[in-house]
Amino acid sequence: MHMTRRTTSALASLAAVLAATALGAGCTDDSSADATTSTSVNGSTATSGTTGSTTGSTTGSTGTTASSGGGSGTRVAYRDFDSCDDFLEWTREEMLERVTPYGLDHGFYPYWREGDVILEGMPDSATADTTAAGDASGPPMPGEAPESAPQTTVGGTSTTNTQEVGVDEGDLTETDGRFVYSILDDRLRSVDLDTKAVLSEIELTPGEHQMILFGQRLLVVTQDWSTGDGETLASRYTIADGVLAVESVSHLEGQLVAVRSIDGVARIVMQQPFATRLPFVQPRSGSEDDEEAALEENRRIIEEATPEQLLPRTFRQNPNGTSSAVTQALPCDQVGAPEEFSGFNIVWVATVALNGDGGEPAGAAGVVATAGATYASSTSLYVSTTVYPDFTGETVPVNPEPPSTHLLAFDLTVDDGADYVASGDVDGELLNQYSMSEFDGHLRVATTTWAGGFGDSQESGVHVLKRDGDALVEIGAVSGLGIGEQIQAVRFLGDVGYVVTFRQVDPLFVLDLSDPTAPALVGELKVPGYSTYLHPVGEDRLLAIGFAGDDNGLDGDMQLSLFDVSDLTKPTLLSTLPLVGWSEAAFDPHGFLYWPETGQVVVPKDVLCFEHIFDCTSAVVASIEGDTLTEQGRLFSWWPIRRSMIAEGELVTVSSIGTKIWALDTLAEIADIRFDVPNTDEDDDLD
């Protein structure tokens, strides 16, 4: 019988380091049926409560058919672990039920360096180049969230395009109006727009980067690619006249999920798989004897597992090159789990204070689950988990049950931290973070589901949940949207919801959510193509970016679309503007800029060259003039423009080779501030 052990000498060396540093266990011992009612709003049947579901059909305001019903009837709550014994007993039972000869679900495997526990591929912070050039149920859900989140402005300067006002989201660029900070091609740079100079340029660890700017501090969060998605870095920088200086780099065990910041307190959401910490084996062959031996060994590993092997760890790297001891990021009594199994990961939240003297990232809360989309309001954070049928037997049904979505709720009002407070469940799958929104104490969730297959069995809907103790309980829902189609875009603005589905044409559904127990479909518009991102422009206009098309489907190009939603029962398409090509903004709203003061829209796109390389453009500037979208111009660049912003009344764009300043009215180029691009020299033509 042959087995292969899935581990590395580096992981083994980390265990030695932990033993040498006497890492503590962090184990602390702190030792109704809901009624269902049905009502009718504007001719659309809606169901409230969670003990069952009803369905019906009605003709909506535009002649379409929709049905509505309650949720899955499941009341999903959570459990706290009062001690490490409690945590270990629960996780061990779940793992033993699901372990195979090949271990648990496949995960990513971190690679830690030996001895000094500095991660492989981490930059030496000491030598980073900074060159100066010049509520009974617990805390309630929030009372009222902003009705919309247009791109906010600060003194003639735009901010990151985010879902909610007051909730910053990690992105590639930030500006305070004078200085622009960017991360492209693993390089952090600061640029002075006044002196037209690059002030700092710091080489970062290769990975996926996000930044948060607050006052004179910059937080850079990196998913380190060199560790196989096993570690997240949180680097804090101070700013003095635009010049960056590193304070510390914190190493947080887990894959980066999301970064949000509220009033100078950042929350970093990560997930750490159990499979990366337990030395599971695999059979060397597919023989029955080898598989039985591997399964027996893996069960033994689980039986002997300790909390220290499952909980995430952290350590700090100082500017002088020294490092702190490795410590456990979360004690057991700060970890919980949904009542229904949701995955073999610790989804955990670390907080970083940027609004004072600050401090190192602190583990605030953890959940045994799997992270999907993340949404934050000013007081709550939600993480979704897509749950597929749990087949632990030897056969799989031909038409399995569709997936559902578990929702994990964290309260952000507790001492600037995070506290896992409730869980809930809805049918179907989410598209992305915009599928969730909190308003007036209710969480709205848009999902697509199917019954026993795909095609015409698909339909979408919106569920409204309210916290009841430790459960998020569905109190209303509307379904039957887009039969045979999938959700492509969602936007909740106050008590109105907009949902776009698509298979051949694009229905834009308008939902009245003013009565959370009876949400209703009130309007629908079918147009060719489909939208992927919806943005409010004023009180009665909706701007969309997506794919153009005709009655036969898509034509491949992208376009902007302007809708009149002043009458929710009769949404109207006012104007479209072709973009030609592909745009990052269609899938990452951070790349989308709308400037309300002038009605201008800036959309980056793939580089398109005409007669020669000196006639290349990489951004379209559009203008909303009354009910019409017009193209104001295109910005020259043969290197893709990634972000655009308004800084003190001027248009600024950032690409991998530099930062450009443009006149907002004429789009004339004012300045071209070049970066020192790796692997190029003065002879390279980057114009």
Quote the pLDDT of residue 639: 86
Q: Mind listing the pLDDT tens digit for each residue in 597-624?
A: 999 999 998 876 655 555 677 899 999 9
pLDDT 10s digits, 356-384: 776 788 999 999 999 999 999 999 999 99
Residue 680 has pLDDT above 90, yes or no: no
* Residue tagged 């490490």 (tokens): 84
**pLDDT at residue 286, rounded to an integer:** 83
Helices and strands in the chain: count of H runs, count of E runs: 3, 49
Residue 102 burial (CB < 10 Å; 0-12/13-18/19+)?
A: middle
Cβ contact 179:190 at 8 Å: yes
**653 pLDDT more than 70:** yes
Which pTM was predicted? 0.83
Q: Look at 326 and 637; give whichever has higher pLDDT.
A: 326
Q: What is the pLDDT of residue 74?
A: 47
CA–CA gap between residue 463 and residue 68 (Å, rounded):
10
With 0-12 / 13-18 / 19 or more C-beta atoms within 10 angstroms meaning exposed / middle / buried, residue 308 is: middle
Lowest mean pLDDT among 88-97, 128-137, 569-578, 653-662: 128-137
Q: Any idea which of 84-93, 452-461, 531-540 has the lowest mean pLDDT? A: 452-461
Judged against a pLDDT cut of 60, whether residue 14 lies above it is answered with no
Rounded to whole angstroms, the Cα distance separating 371 from 380 reads: 16
Q: Is the pLDDT of residue 670 over 70?
A: yes
Would you state the pLDDT for residue 25?
36
Q: In this prediction, what percent of the chain has a pLDDT beyond 70?
A: 75
Q: How far apart are CA 76 and CA 474, in angstroms?
A: 10
| Per-residue tokens: 43 | 């001719």
- Here the tokens at position 496 are 């109105």
Provide the mean pLDDT of the chain.
81
| 626 Ramachandran zone, left/alpha/beta (phi>0; psi -120 to 50) | left
Q: What is the DSSP code (8-state) at residue 538?
A: S
Q: Confidence class of residue 229 from pLDDT cuts 50, 70 and 90?
A: low
pLDDT at 573 over 70: yes
Q: Which residue has the higher pLDDT, 38 or 513?
A: 513
Confidence category of residue 72, pLDDT binned at 50, 70, 90: very low
**pLDDT, tens digit (0-9, with 9 covering 90-100), for 139-150:** 334 333 444 455
Most trustworthy range by pLDDT among 48-57, 283-292, 498-507, 515-524 = 515-524
Per-residue burial over 195-228, b if 16 or more Cβ lie within 10 Å, else e, is ebebbbbbebbebbbbbbbbeebbbbbbbbebbe
